[in-house]
Amino acid sequence: MENKGKKIIFSGIQPSGNLHLGNYIGAINQWVVMQEESSEKELIFCVVDLHAITVYQSSAVLKEKILEVAALYLACGIDPKKSKIFVQSENPDHSYLAWIFDCLTPMGWMNRMTQFKDKSAKQKESTSVGLFNYPALMAADILLYDTDYVPVGEDQTQHVELTCDIAARFNRLYGENFKLPKTIIDRKAARIMSLQNPLTKMSKSDENQDGVINLLDAKDDIAKKIKKAVTDSGREIVYEQDKPAISNLLVIYSKLSGREINSIEEEYRLKSYADFKNDLAELMVDVLSPVQDKYREIRQDAGYLGKVLDEGREFAVKKSSVKVANVRRAMGLGRI
Ligand code: AQP
């Protein structure tokens, strides 16, 4: 294999809406750190559009969001010389292997997935079979590339555990074909919460967009959203369990500035919420402005983005086609 000895890292984000501060702090920023840490890794970042359609997406919007997400990966610092970026649906091996995993996965395993319970509760009658089967597609994404590590937020660990169960079951039934991946969870990585309801996570699909800072939000919108952010009773700017709103803002401040929370608490000990919020809005604009400038530059050069995604797809297909051929051979599928 080309990258013998290199550890493979795979992750992705759904183009199901606007990328937000949670995706940046909880995912992309960590990918960039990993990318810069060492060259002994092969990093693969996918725009997981097949996952996005587990919930209805308008075709015109989806088309645009796919390019937006890919361009934002680059604008946030993913370097195509060091990492691969591709669009999931451009490699049909993902859905091919997902079907095989659907057939291999007992309903009971899927029934245990808490994310399905949460998301289907919101979708009600329109909940799709695809949303239920989502973890089988995620298992295919990961296992196609002999992934060693999957950097994810805590909400995704159950899916990676299921991926290992599916891989182990396949290996038991048909022989060793899949490597069992591990999750990388940065314990210090925060779960960024909605600015309007600090008990729910910041989410693309949140109906109340005042609670969500999008990476491409205009300067004034950022300032307005921070100003409107709910706060807790009392006036102290401290990180405490019974102060979820101000704690969330402190975590965001800390993640964007690289400073420890207690040093921020100390700085604002005698200051007001308004002072703190003004400074946080300014910090956010300082961090997001260069990302937005870079994003605009990338979108103006469609040829460059196309080339990055073509190269990513070629890399992905080359690797996954070998895996799928082995799987077909192992299972007796077709005339291979
Ligand atoms: N609020 C968050 N805080 C920290 N990390 C987050 N992630 C998402 N939201 C937060 C991390 O981003 C990665 C990609 O997530 P995704 O877009 O594939 O799926 P999601 O977690 O379902 O994201 P959303 O925004 O909530 O999308 P919708 O509303 O479409 O369901 C993951 O690593 C995730 O942990």
When pLDDT is cut at 50, 70 and 90, the band that residue 281 belongs to is very high
Q: Does residue 2 have a pLDDT over 70? A: no
Q: Is the CB of 153 under 6 A from ligand 1?
A: yes
Q: Which amino acid is at 134?
A: Y
16: CB partners within 8 A, 6+ apart: 51, 52, 55, 57, 65, 204, 205
When pLDDT is cut at 50, 70 and 90, the band that residue 1 belongs to is very low
Among all chains, which residue has been given the structure tokens 């077709």?
Answer: 334
Least confidently predicted of 17-26, 187-196, 237-246 = 187-196
Over range 157-166, report the average pLDDT: 96
Strand partners, 8: 42
Domain ranges of the chain: 7-185+301-331, 209-296
In angstroms, what is the C-alpha Rg of the chain? 21
Secondary structure of residue 19 in the 3-state scheme: coil
Q: Which amino acid is at 267?
A: E
Residue 39: per-residue pLDDT: 77
Q: Which CATH superfamily is domain 209-296 in?
A: Tyrosyl-Transfer RNA Synthetase (1.10.240.10)
Q: Strand 83-87: give its sheet, edge to edge.
A: 83-87, 41-47, 7-13, 149-151, 182-184
Q: Is the CB of 192 under 6 A from ligand 1?
A: yes
Residue 327: per-residue pLDDT: 98
Residue environment code for 8-37, b if the CB has 16+ CB neighbours within 10 A, otherwise e: bbbbbbbbbbbbbbbbbbbbbbbbbebbee
Among all chains, which residue has been given the structure tokens 């991946």?
Answer: 181
Among all chains, which residue has been given the structure tokens 């307005």?
Answer: 224
Predicted confidence (pLDDT) per residue in 99-115, tens digit: 999 999 999 999 999 99
Residue 154: per-residue pLDDT: 78
Over range 265-294, report the average pLDDT: 97
Active site residues: 119, 201, 204
Over range 79-95, report the average pLDDT: 98
CATH class of 7-185+301-331: alpha beta
Q: Is the CB of 155 under 6 A from ligand 1?
A: yes
Taking the complete model, does pTM exceed 0.75, yes or no?
Answer: yes
Q: Which amino acid is at 284?
A: M
Strand partners, 44: 10, 84
Q: Which amino acid is at 27?
A: A
Over range 109-138, report the average pLDDT: 92
Over range 226-240, report the average pLDDT: 94
Closest of 83, 1, 67, 86 to residue 35, by C-alpha: 83
**Cα separations in angstroms, 134 against 163, 201, 202, 203:** 11, 20, 21, 18
Over range 192-211, report the average pLDDT: 94
Q: Which amino acid is at 54?
A: T
Predicted confidence (pLDDT) per residue in 215-224, tens digit: 999 999 999 9
* Through-space distance between the first and last CA atoms of the chain, rounded to whole angstroms: 21
Residue 4: per-residue pLDDT: 60
Over range 67-85, report the average pLDDT: 98
Predicted confidence (pLDDT) per residue in 55-72, tens digit: 999 999 999 999 999 999
Residue 187: per-residue pLDDT: 66
Q: Could you tell which of 21, 23, 251 is best to mutate to test the pocket of ligand 1, judged by most ligand atoms within 8 Å of the CB?
A: 23
Residue nearest to atom 8 of ligand 1 (CA): 23
